[in-house]
């Protein structure tokens, strides 16, 4: 199993996390990059910390099932 760390506070974060338990930073899994990303809000969407061009939406199941996967903005709602 791969270990992930919060890019804000550098504490280990479980794969299933939507929020870092240490610093409360939003987390999301980028399936294309295979990494858990620390996120900053960009309007109603999110961008990984340190990336200027990538903008993501949460999976439509994030509220219902706690899914932390990120989807491209154009696929939001799916």
| Global pTM value | 0.83
Mean pLDDT per 10-residue section of the chain, whose length is 78 residues: 88 93 95 92 89 84 85 72
Strand partners, 42: 45
Q: What pLDDT is recorded for position 26?
A: 94
- Distance CA(39)–CA(46), nearest Å, equals 6
Q: What pLDDT is recorded for position 78?
A: 47
Question: What is the per-residue burial (b if ≥16 Cβ within 10 Å, else e) of 9-31?
Answer: eeeebeeebbebeeeebbbbbbe
> Could you count the other beta carbons within 10 Å of the beta carbon of residue 6?
23
Q: What pLDDT is recorded for position 1?
A: 60
């Amino acid at each position: 199993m791969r270990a992930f760390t919060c890019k804000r506070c550098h504490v280990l974060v479980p794969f299933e996390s939507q929020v870092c338990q240490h610093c409360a930073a939003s987390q999301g899994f980028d399936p294309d990059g295979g990494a858990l990303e620390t996120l900053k809000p960009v309007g109603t969407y999110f961008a990984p910390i340190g990336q200027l061009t990538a903008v993501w939406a949460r999976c439509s199941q994030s509220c219902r099932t706690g899914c932390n996967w990120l989807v491209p903005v154009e696929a939001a709602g799916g």
